[in-house]
Structure 1
Amino acid sequence: MSIQIFILSKLMKGNSYPYELEKQLSNPVPLNTFAGLTESKLSYHFESLVKQGLIEPAGVMIEENSSERQVFAITEKGREELPKRIYRLLDGAKNITDMVLGLANLKYVDREKVVEILKQKLESRIARRERVEEIRRQAPIDKENEPLVDLIGKYMKTKGEHTIEWLEELIEEIRQGHI
């Protein structure tokens, strides 16, 4: 879904084709390599989006010393679908990294709806932290494993606290219009 959100968001800005998007991802930092995105993988997703009626062929581009390349445009159905996919991405995100593409495309969604999704995630994280603390207080710990249990507990607590703080900051930044 993330690749298709990426494609749809790029086509909101103007017509394009797989090779052009792959080139954009490679400069100045080779994000295409980090994400494992190749022109063929992008082409597959372009074809899938055409089948879904979210994009359509819009012409042919001939680059110097290259073959013809099919250029695509987003359809009205694609414009309507993009925000829905961004909401689903944010709602289903398991961690902060999963949210990046959705957050990079906030201009296509209702910011208040995004804030509500993030507030639910924040409340869920706070409730989870409390459940873990309660379990930790009640669980008997074998003395032999106590150092390991304490170390893992500290790691989990630090990670959870960081996520809570980050979500609080993110919500505030979106509310203030900084993001």
Structure 2
Amino acid sequence: MSIQIFILSKLMEDNNYPYKLKKQLSEPIPLDELGGLTESKLYYHFDSLAKKGLIEPVEIIKEEHRPDKQVFAITDKGREALPKLIYKMFEQAEGIKDMVVGLANMKYVDRDQVVEILEKKLKTIKDGWERISHFEQVKTGKESETIREFLSGYLSTKTEHTIEWLERLIIHIKQGEI
């Protein structure tokens, strides 16, 4: 989904073709490699978006001794779908790392709606932690003590870290900084 949001957001700015977007992703930081985005994946997502009617080919650039470049534009249906895809991304995200493309495209969504989604996610995490945090007080036999302490420390640290950064993110969005 994040690749398709990336493509649609780039096409909101200007018509484009897959190879050019791939090149933009690889410079100056190789984000394409870090995200495992191959050229074939990018072409696949362009094709998928075109089949859904969210983008359409508008031009073919022909260059001597080079493959033809099919230029795409976003459709009205694509403009309408982009915010919905971004909201869905925030809803399905398991962590902030899964929200990066949505955060980079906040200009296409209602900030209050994103905050609402994130606050709901934060409440779910806090409620879940409240239910299982008593795990630290569970008495176990000597053979299980080390694993209980390890898991308790790991889960506690991870959950507290997640809550802290999600709270910070919500504040930044509310203040219009992201």
Structure 2: gaps of 5 or more residues = none
Deviations 1:3-56 (A, max 9, x none): 111110111110111100110111111111122212221111111101100000
TM-score, length of structure 1 as denominator length: 0.94
Deviation at 1:141, TM superposition (A): 1.4
List structure 1 runs of 4+ shifted beyond 4 angstroms: none
Once the two structures are superposed, the pairs formed by residues 31-70 of structure 1 within 5 Å of their partners are 31-62=31-62, 65-70=65-70
Of all paired residues, the percent bearing the same amino acid is: 57
Paired residue type of 1:171: I
CA distance in 1 between counterparts of 2:168 and 2:94 reads 18
CA distance in 2 between counterparts of 1:63 and 1:100 reads 35
CA distance in 2 between counterparts of 1:65 and 1:25 reads 25
CA distance in 1 between counterparts of 2:82 and 2:151 reads 40
Deviation at 1:147, TM superposition (A): 2.1
Once the two structures are superposed, the pairs formed by residues 100-139 of structure 1 within 5 Å of their partners are 100-137=100-137, 139=138
CA distance in 1 between counterparts of 2:107 and 2:17 reads 22
| Gap change, CA 1:44 and 1:147, over 3 Å in 2 | same
Size of the alignment, in residue pairs?
178
Residue in 1 that maps onto 2:2: 2
Q: Please tell me whether the aligned partners of residues 61 and 71 of structure 2 are also in contact (alpha carbons under 8 angstroms).
A: yes
Residue in 1 that maps onto 2:159: 160
CA distance in 1 between counterparts of 2:34 and 2:54 reads 27
Deviations 1:82-105 (A, max 9, x none): 000000010011112111111111
Secondary structure at the aligned position of 1:47 is classed as helix
